[in-house]
Amino acid sequence: MKTLRGAVQASGHRILHLVVPEDSGILRFEETGEMPEGKDFAVLWKGIWREGRCYPSYPDRTFVTYKDAQRLSLHAGMHVRMPLYILGTERLLELARAYVHELGYTPTQEGTIVGTDAAIASGESTQVAVPVGNEIPPVVITINLHSSGDIRPVADTETFLTPDSEDTVG
């Protein structure tokens, strides 16, 4: 697993809403379920879009504007504008093939999108199967496109150590 930062350019903006779901009690973007902390976006404040970054604070989240460092308290019901990132079919296939090659496999054919989406936008993911030989099943790459524009590919062949695994150093 790796993260490709800044690998995709924004193709526009999308409007989201801040909510506090009853089951969590934590401020989130309604459409994606993500928390706003650490994210760059714009807030509709008194009829004007103000760009900045959200920081954790108590009892609310604090949004600090870029130009004048004004601190605005975020709350449920606010409208926010975030960059919209999109990965099309060709780019998804290219990313999967490159990642399979980086993992040490030799792709033998073009990959196939096996996920439900042939193109994804910010906050979405899909899967691409890349054939690597006749005797070996295809490597399935899950590609996540985060709301920040970062891309995170993960192969089904990758193993991750957890605190409970036997391979950890103790």
Q: Can you give the pTM of this predicted structure?
A: 0.75
Residues 73 and 135 in one domain: no
Residue carrying structure tokens 């379920």: 33
Banded pLDDT at 122 (limits 50, 70, 90): confident
Q: Are residues 43 and 73 in the same domain?
A: yes
**Domain limits at 102?**
86-155
Tell me: do 116 and 149 sit in the same domain: yes
Q: How confident is the model at residue 38 (pLDDT cuts 50, 70, 90)?
A: confident
Number of domain units in the chain: 2
